[in-house]
Amino acid sequence: MRVIMLGPPGSGKGTQGERIASRYGVPHISSGELFRDEVTRQTETGKTLQRYLDAGDLVPDDLVLSLVMDRVIAAQAEGGWVLDGFPRTVPQAEAAAKAAADVGMSAQAVVYLEVPPEVLADRLADRGEGRADDSAQVARHRLEVFTEYTRPLLDYYTKRGILVRIDASPPVDAVSEAIFAVLDRIDG
């Protein structure tokens, strides 16, 4: 199973991505976790990433691609992957699609988690107590960045015929079941 998770901050990409990975026995690759690991280890890359993460800005495409694509290619040997937080822009998606095609591993589905703005605001406020990138101001900025840069991916993946829209406002288990109902048909 090869799945890309899309959705605004607070939509549940990480939770649902982990559940999908567990169900289909593939690695869950979270760009956010990769970034936070680099920051925690205080690598040179981590120091660069920190500036973008603190501001809630998108990390430049070349830096994202260098961190994520090697993990994606390695995960193919394990039967696929669930990408969480990547790609975030159409240029990233195009570069990833080319790299994936070169090794015969294009995405089977892009799961877009739709959540009303007021639900997102509540979720980010609840989550913001433990994460610097979810303070109220940074969370608002992340939503603006999502709208400007990531939302165009919906058209891109719709044209490719692999976008699946899921209402992510119900309880977590109900969202998972809705996702599995679609992915089971693709995987079967």
For residues 8 and 146, give the distance between their C-alpha atoms in angstroms, rounded to a whole number. Answer: 6
3-class DSSP state for residue 136? helix
By annotation, the residues acting in catalysis are 13, 88, 127, 131, 142
Do 65 and 96 meet the contact criterion of CB atoms below 8 Å apart?
yes
The secondary structure element, H or E, covering residue 84 is strand 81-84
Burial pattern 163-172, b for ≥16 Cβ within 10 A else e, equals bbebebbeee
DSSP state of 83: E
